[in-house]
Structure 1
Amino acid sequence: MDATEHLKASLEAAIALANSFGAEWSQGRPQPAGDSTAAEAALRLTTNQVPHVDAGGLAEFTEGAVHLYGALSHLADGEVDASAAELNELLKATQAAPQLSRHKGSPWHLHFAVPEVSTATGWLAEFATAAAMLLGSDDLELLRRCGADRCDNLFLDGTRNHTQRFCSTSCQNRTKVAAFRARGSQE
């Protein structure tokens, strides 16, 4: 995996974690309170290991993910200065400091937190760093808010022509069905 693939995976995981804990609505339903399963699912997007989130880590993930959702929401809404302020707070809180690290049997790679912080704080530092790097990149316009009613999810537009409007096929289908029904009731 090269550096850009790792950064993209970290950004996708950051968005998934933020959606799980920060979005009020997801795909037409009220978003349930984030739990360890949601945090572990987000972490699996960027690690080859099976993550485990304990109760203490869950509290950290919850607080950090809510801040991350706020920062990413500001970015999706074009409020770059507000996003930068929120991300700076999160970077400071997580003590984000890039450093090279190597685990037994793996190559050198970049971590974004000092070794003394908790696992959750380390992940949040990486996710905040990935979001901050998006803020300063040409790909900023690829971060979008789902266009469906009753969905507050954020996503990265991965289409070739950058016209994706929905976070999922489910949201796209719900919107098409609603439009079809609306046309039918006008006749």
Structure 2
Amino acid sequence: MDATSHLKDSLEAAIALANRFGAEWSRGRLQAPGDTDAVQAVLRLTTNLEPVVDEPALAEFAAGGVRLYSALGLLADGSVDASARELNELLEATRAAPRLSQYEGKLWHLHFAGPEVSVATRWLAEFATAAAMLLGSSELNLLRRCGAERCDNLFLDATRNHTQRFCSTACQNRTKVAAFRSRG
């Protein structure tokens, strides 16, 4: 097992939550308000469990997603110090502290908040920790903003030569079609 696979999954989920609640435009469309289904889809990126998100948790996830989008956006724009300040505030607000946990019959695994906080706070602590670990790594330049018009999404460049410009093939195709139409 890759020891960093859970961290990578948590970072992908953090970016997905940030995009869902922080980006005004996504893939050429104005974003609709996030709902519990959207949060559950984000959480499934990092767990095999079926997460249950109620309305109070939704509000906390939405606020946390906006904060993550701000911090990750600063990082993507090269404002590392400002991003670090925002991530530190989020880590402090969630009282993120590593601790080993074990569910009955399962392996030990790392959590970043104790059972005394809300479910949303536990997840946000994990996502903020994953973002903070990216900030402190040599791979922080792989976090990018989508280069397409009408898309505010952030993404991790997963290409071998690190030249990815778009968050999705949909954005890449929209941009190519627009360029073709403007020429003719």
Task: Give percent identity, aligned residues only.
Answer: 76
Question: For residue 11 of structure 2, what is the aligned residue in structure 1?
Answer: 11
> CA separation in 2, counterparts of 1:91 and 1:113?
10
Instruction: Say yes or no: does 1:49 pair with 2:64.
Output: no
Counterpart code for 1:105: G
**CA distance in structure 2 between the aligned counterparts of 1:87 and 1:143, rounded to whole angstroms:** 15
Q: CA deviation at 1:37?
A: 1.1
**In structure 1, distance between residues paired with 2:45 and 2:109:** 17
1-structure distance, mates of 2:38, 2:169: 20
Q: What residue ranges of structure 2 are gaps of 5+ in the alignment?
A: none
2:144 maps to 144
The answer for the alignment partner of 2:59 in structure 1 is: 59
Structure 1 runs not aligned, ≥5 long? none
Q: Helix, strand or coil: the match of 2:98?
A: strand
2:28 aligns with 28
Per-residue deviation, residues 165-187 of structure 1 (Å, max 9, x unmatched): 00001000000000000111xxx
- 1:130 counterpart residue number: 130
- How much does 1:162 deviate? 0.8
Deviation at 1:136, TM superposition (A): 0.3
Distance 2:44 2:180 in 1: 37
Q: For 1:174-185, what aligned pairs fall within 5 Å after superposition?
A: 174-184=174-184
Q: CA deviation at 1:31?
A: 1.0
Query: What letter corresponds to residue 177 of structure 2 in structure 1?
Result: V
Report deviation, 1:3.
Answer: 2.7
TM-score normalized by the length of structure 2: 0.98
Aligned residues: 184
Detail structure 1 runs of 4+ shifted over 6 Å in the superposition. none
The residue that corresponds to 1:76 in the other structure is 76
Measured in 2, the distance between the counterparts of 1:53 and 1:124 equals: 13
- Residue deviations 1:61-83, cap 9 Å, x none? 01111000000000000000110
1:110-142 Cα deviation digits (max 9, x unpaired): 000122001100000000000000000011011
